[in-house]
Amino acid sequence: MRMMNILKPIALDVIRCVSQLFDHYLYAVYTFFRRNNMYESSGLGLISSRLRTTLNRIQESLIQMARSASPPSFLTLTISGGNERKEKVPSPHLSQLVVLTASETLYGLAQRVVATESLVFLAEQFESLQSHLDTMMPAAKKPFLQQFYSQVSHELRKPICWVVAAKALDYEQMLLLMAAVKWDIREIMSQHNVYVDVLLNEFEEFNKRLGDVSRHVRVPLPVSNVLWEHCIRLANRTLVEGYGNVKKCSTEGRALMQLDFQQFLMKLEKLTDMRHSVHNMCTSVCLSHKEYSMKQLANLVHVCLSSHINKNARHKLLAAIDDIDRPKR
């Protein structure tokens, strides 16, 4: 700031270089802790279009992508059509000392928290300087500053925490246990199924590991809430898929599903501090079309509605589901 005040002719260059440093750090955090995530296809943890645009811009303007076997230089200068000099740097690489695969540490949660929260802190400092930087910018270059401030680095919290949540619980085990349940029963059951207890034990273990990480690195409440929200959404998505995969189900079986789900909600609310949010999140999974895959919708029609609507109505409903899915193919 002092350099810009004393040497006003180079103020624009200073602001541009500082913004490039921030861009590179944002891109590095994303590259280390989010990119190439195998769970991205589920749709729940996708980054926003706004953040994706920002990352694409950084990659195109600042990052030197490897195109040959020869090692990249530390700094590459390219000349655009307007003879403007642009500096590019090699894509960042994570140190081998940073381990992101250990379940005991919640897959490097401490490192993820330090990275994302330091990025949020830097963004907040830049925001506090926005009015001052605006006075230093020539009128013709103000759009550059506006573009820089349009970045929303705190949006990285959700996609980075998503990677942890997707691995923290064994969702595949839940599906296997649910598949082993007999749902075409002929009597009302008073005891919930064992998969509910197994799922709740998974949440208890997640809570314990989260507490262990918090004793070494403070996990801010917004991060903790995002982690819980992701895990609860993924658990509910798993339950929906498990119920949707059922081939034969009686009215009594559907009552058992409801008993299982109510038991899950009741005990989960006791486990987490987000009691006011658990029910709302679970309800939103059941009501929002975005939380269902087309396969899940079709299976739910077969399992839950087959005895309540006639064959023609069922075919029309399945055709409507197919119409929704057709543009995505």
What's this model's pTM, rounded to 2 decimal places? 0.78
Tens digit of each residue's pLDDT, the chain (329 residues): 777 777 778 888 888 888 899 999 999 999 999 865 555 545 555 677 888 888 888 999 899 876 544 444 444 544 444 444 567 888 899 999 999 999 999 999 999 999 999 999 998 888 888 888 888 888 888 888 887 887 656 688 889 999 999 999 999 999 999 999 999 999 988 999 999 999 999 999 999 999 999 999 999 999 999 999 899 989 988 998 898 888 888 889 989 998 998 899 889 988 876 544 565 555 555 545 455 567 766 766 666 555 555 677 767 777 887 777 666 65
Domain ranges of the chain: 2-152, 169-292
How is residue 2 written in tokens?
A: 């002092």
Give the pLDDT of residue 83. 44
How is residue 181 written in tokens?
A: 């349940």
User: Residue 43, by phi and psi: left (phi above 0), alpha (psi -120 to 50) or beta?
Assistant: left
